[in-house]
Amino acid sequence: MILNIQGLTKKFGVNTAVDNASFALEKPQMIGIIGRSGAGKSTVLRMVNRMTDATDGIIEFEGRNILTLTGRAKRAWQADCAMIFQQFNLIPRLDVMTNVLMGRLIDHSAIGSILRLFTRDERLQALAALDRLGIAEHAIKRAEALSGGQQQRVAIARALVQDPKIILADEPIASLDPMNAQIVMDALRDIHERDGRTIIANLHTLDTARNYCDRVIGMRDGRIVFDGASHELTETAAREIYGAGAEFDEAATSTSISAISNTAIAEPALAVAG
Amino acid sequence: MSDSLATAAIAAQYEIAERRRRVYSGLVLIFMVVLVIGGVRIAEDVNAGGLWSGLPNIFDYPADILGQAYTKGWEFWTIPFTVQHADHGISHTYFYYLVETLNMALVSTLIGFFLGAIISILASRNLVKNRVIVWVTRRVTDISRAFPEIVIALFLIFIFGKNPIAAVAAIAFHTTGALAKLFSEVNENTDMKPWEGLEASGASWLQKIWFGIIPQVWPNWISYALLRLEINVRASAILGFVGAGGLGQQFKTFVDWKFGADIAAIILLLISAIILIDQLSTWARHYFIGKEAH
């Protein structure tokens, strides 16, 4: 058992953001979590990374309850559990290399990191990560000078130099155009397949979840209402997750390029029929 | 039909709100006028001279000083750079005393900058989770802002004696509080996304501050500190009046002795210095912030 989440609950005052959520991972997987805004997807990831404290429940990683960690042990877990954000969360005014090296802060004292005493090995590692994501030539530019898609790849490079056991991605492609969304999702899939790392991604489009993930978890009002292989995610199941009626049209929510070309092909056919 | 009725109702409501706003503005205006008139009355009652009776004489003193300066002729322009009144125990040139005043301002601004920066971080609600620390540091900045420099200086002169150390400590104390307050406002307006990114990769609190906050806030910090430097040049000149050294102390002496030429020379020197600093700091602020905001 790699990851075991049992009865995970988060209450903000009287509101229950996550209600008794449980799921487990036997082997490294790429998991997509889907659901409406406010369904509790982000809160689950933030609790796994320990950015938000859980109200109740257990999160065990390789047999250790990570919810009870404090101080340095907690930070060491956060380094093992990299996180990618919708808005990239880079430091805009620092260069790309420094941003990537931020993934190594756990191994440096405050004074050492303030003096930027990163080792040659770490710098090479950071450059290799950037190269893997195809943005090595931007290494000395300021992060804010890059496009959204490039910035998200910098964030993934930062996650890679953490050498994490698990990568959490909170809506990684929600602010990207379809082309960049595909590049970022391909990169995450590649990291899962080649490095064997577990990836849990909150996604806002069903087709992304189906195309890239081995397993899909559906959340509604803080509860897990679907958990299965991605091919089991039928349109009926999707309606249940999103609480939508018959008017729910999956193609309309799609942001992938192939879905657009599909409708483009379908339209002339309709025109002929009309 | 019902649409236009609804619009008419909204328009009527807006009219009422507008009328109420005008009434409030009028009341505030009347209040201000009463306040000003009242203040002038009180001042007149307290003063022996009286504001209105003294008004015609307003130009007498400047005319006297300028007259004395004029009689010096071209020699007037050498006053700041040559030792004057050595027989009265003045040992240095006025330019030297100006440098001393500027030095006092610079040192106290630097001390205030570093202490204020540290305190401002501890006083920012978004950076420190412990409410007690935030509350205590905020009260500390309130207290250090509450005392004017001159009050602290008078107090410190009893401890350190009449010397620049007392002035520097007094100005630094006030500057720390003032800058800590301004800096913490800047800190609380920062974008917390870099902070979260660092937190999620296991960065410690100091690392989050240094990499997540400082790169965002320092141009604004520098800008406020330069503004404070200008204020502190004036403050350190004024503190000379209570014997804390520098140009102000000489100025006070000559005001007492009514040495008009020297007074005019010192005022000119101070004004030029402040204009110069103002120009330099404007340039520096544009340089730092302009470079950041592209």
Distance CA A155, CA A137 (A): 16
CB contact under 8 A, B204 and A93: no
User: What is the rounded distance in angstroms from the CA atom of residue A103 to the CA atom of residue B28?
Assistant: 57
In eight-state DSSP terms, residue B72 is T
| pLDDT score recorded for residue B95 | 85
For residue A267, the model assigns a pLDDT of 46
What is the maximal distance between C-alpha atoms in chain A? 72
Distance (Å, whole) CA A26 – CA B286: 58
- Partners of A12 in beta bridges: A15
B203–A90 C-beta distance less than 8 A: no
The alpha carbon of residue A104 is apart from the nearest alpha carbon of chain B, in Å, by: 8
Give residue A252's pLDDT: 64
**Cα gap B292→B289, rounded to integer Å:** 5
Q: For chain A, where are the alpha helices, taking DSSP H only?
A: 41-48, 71-80, 96-101, 110-114, 120-132, 148-161, 178-195, 206-212, 235-242, 250-253, 257-273
pLDDT of residue B293: 47
- Region B78-101 average pLDDT: 80
* Nearest CB neighbour to A102, from listed B193, B198, B292: B198
pLDDT tens digits for range A37-86: 888 999 999 999 999 999 999 999 998 999 999 999 999 999 999 999 99
Q: Over chain A, what is the mean pLDDT?
A: 88
What is the rounded average pLDDT of the residues B185-190? Answer: 94
Q: pLDDT for B232-241, tens place per residue? A: 988 888 888 8
Contact A78 B206 (CB under 8 A): no
Chain A, residues 37-76, CB within 8 A of chain B, namely: 49, 51, 75-76
pLDDT digits (tens, 9 = 90+) for A228-263: 998 888 888 888 888 876 666 666 666 666 655 554
pLDDT band at A268; cut points 50, 70, 90:
very low
pLDDT at position B197 over 50:
yes
**Burial of A153 (C-beta count, 10 Å sphere; 0-12/13-18/19+):** buried
What confidence score (pLDDT) does residue A274 get?
37
Of A205, A215, A221, which Cα lies nearest the Cα of A259? A205
d(CA B252, CA B90) in angstroms, rounded, equals: 13
Q: Model pTM?
A: 0.80
Contacts of A158 in chain B (CB under 8 A): 197, 201
Tell me the average pLDDT across A145-157.
Answer: 94
Q: Say yes or no: ipTM exceeds 0.90.
A: no
DSSP B192-260: -HHHHHHHHTT--HHHIIIIIIHHHHHHHHHHHHHHHHHHHHHHHHHHGGGT--SHHHHHHHHHHHT-H
pLDDT band at residue B47, thresholds of 50, 70 and 90?
low
Domain boundaries, position A101: 3-273
A232 CA: distance to closest CA in chain B (Å): 32
Q: How many domains does chain A have?
A: 1
Lowest mean pLDDT among A1-10, A213-222, B216-225, B280-289: B280-289
Rounded CA gap, A90 and B195, in Å?
9
pLDDT for the residue B74? 81
- Window from A266-270, B21-25, B224-228 with minimum mean pLDDT: A266-270
Query: CATH no. for residue A166?
Result: 3.40.50.300
User: Is the pLDDT reported for residue B148 higher than 90?
Assistant: no
User: How many C-beta atoms surround the C-beta of residue A134 within 10 A?
Assistant: 12
